[in-house]
Amino acid sequence: MSVADKIKISIDNSSWIRKMFEEGLRRKEKYGADNVFDFSIGNPNLEPPARFKEVLVDLLKDPQPGNHGYMPNAGFENTRQALAEYLNRTNRPQFTAEEIIMTPGASAGCNVVFKTILNPGDEVIIPAPYFFEYNPWIENHQGVPRIVSTRPDFQLDCEAISEAITEATRAVLINSPNNPSGKVYTEAEIAELAAVLRHHGEKLGRPIYIVSDEPYRKIVYDGISVPSIFDAYDESLVISSFSKALSLPGERIGYVAVNPNLTDKDMMLQGLVLSIRVLGYTCAPALMQRAVAQLLDESVDVSFYKKNRDMLVEGLLSYGYDARVPEGAFYLFPRTPIEDDVAFVKALQEENILTVPGKGFAAPGHFRISYCVSPKTVEGALPGFERVINKFRT
């Protein structure tokens, strides 16, 4: 056999998101791009803020030598210091540059964290629904994902999390605003989770970490804010990127921030720096590090996503879909009107509407709509959404 058994299994169970994306490409070639309504992948369709290009031009004109060479594995000192000062505005713990590790995006950040904290067989609890690639990222480092359902409204079920904790539990991985549900965990939910982990950590005689994946932190609606994990719990790490807030997914730039009050913080930081090197990332892209240091207060126009959200929610609710209004990110996660979410998604495909079944997020009976698309795509798809639900009604 040409590949490892584990890779073969992963190929066979490859991401539903990618499957739907590839189906979209096939249909666009067959029917024309304007006749296919692709909501399959969270690839921001907005251009980066105008200032991004201005900053890039200035950086490229900078004659100083060494701007594109290697830097310390943790990243440029001035970029990390800028991020520390930015975080200090919204968190009680006060950061310095040393608590920031620059990474090639949030996916790399997750792998760096799991490489650092997991021993073989250690468990990471993940509330579902969740981004399914967390599984292989944990398994990359011989960890074991443990999936716990959230409540019907996607709130954290801290009682279920508590019951899932064992001697092997190393961390709880959360994602807020959430992909795929758009749920923003409240301050009360985070406080309850922190209390549960303190209780179990004391019994185990060691910390259980909260690892919070926050690439959508700036994409929130209706005056909602994302509570600080750092304020709620000392044993915490936040992973983030600029892929969504600045529409830079292809530039692969993100960071890990370590709570300044974390137990054995110095050892954790040394481990993260070592892991970013031995995993082959070496360091985050130099040009992007220097750029984002000047763009920390910038964001894409979130009102664009809100208009798409509102158009979809209003239309789908009027047709009889059961959907909760997303509080953040750019995903809608309605229930399917039949039990078989894969069959329902296939029925939508017949209308050239590409979505992802909830099965791909450990939440069967739902489907995900990624609305980081043009308003024309939303408008064009609405009649098809109505026809399909009416078909299943009759």
Query: Would you say residue 47 has pLDDT above 80?
Result: yes
Please state the rounded mean pLDDT for residues 211-227: 98
Distance CA(161)–CA(128), nearest Å, equals 11
Residue in the structure block whose two tokens are 């011989």 = 142
| Percent of all residues in the chain with a pLDDT value above 90, rounded to a whole number | 89
pLDDT at 19: 73
Residue 364: is it exposed, middle or buried by C-beta count within 10 angstroms (0-12/13-18/19+)? middle
Distance CA(48)–CA(53), nearest Å, equals 8
- CB contact burial 30-42 (16+ within 10 A = b; e otherwise): eeeeeebbbbbbb
Q: Which CATH class is domain 5-48+301-393?
A: alpha beta
Task: Give just the sign of the alpha carbon dihedral 340, 345, 349, 352.
Answer: positive
Amino acid identity of residue 4, one-letter, is A
List, for residues 84-96, the tens digit of each pLDDT value.
999 999 999 999 9
Q: Which one, of 84, 60, 118, 63, lies nearest residue 286 by Cα?
A: 60
Q: Return the domain boundaries, the chain.
A: 5-48+301-393, 66-292
Amino acid identity of residue 362, one-letter, is A
Question: How sure is the predictor about 12, in pLDDT bands with cuts at 50, 70 and 90?
Answer: low
Per the structure block, which two tokens stand in for 129?
A: 């629904």
| Percent of all residues in the chain with a pLDDT value above 70, rounded to a whole number | 97
Comparing 23-27, 158-162, 255-259, 322-326, the range with the smallest average pLDDT is 23-27
Domain 66-292 carries which CATH code? 3.40.640.10
pTM as predicted = 0.95
Amino acid identity of residue 95, one-letter, is F
Amino acid identity of residue 323, one-letter, is A
Question: How sure is the predictor about 4, in pLDDT bands with cuts at 50, 70 and 90?
Answer: confident
User: E-assigned strands of 75-190?
Assistant: 100-103, 123-128, 144-149, 169-175
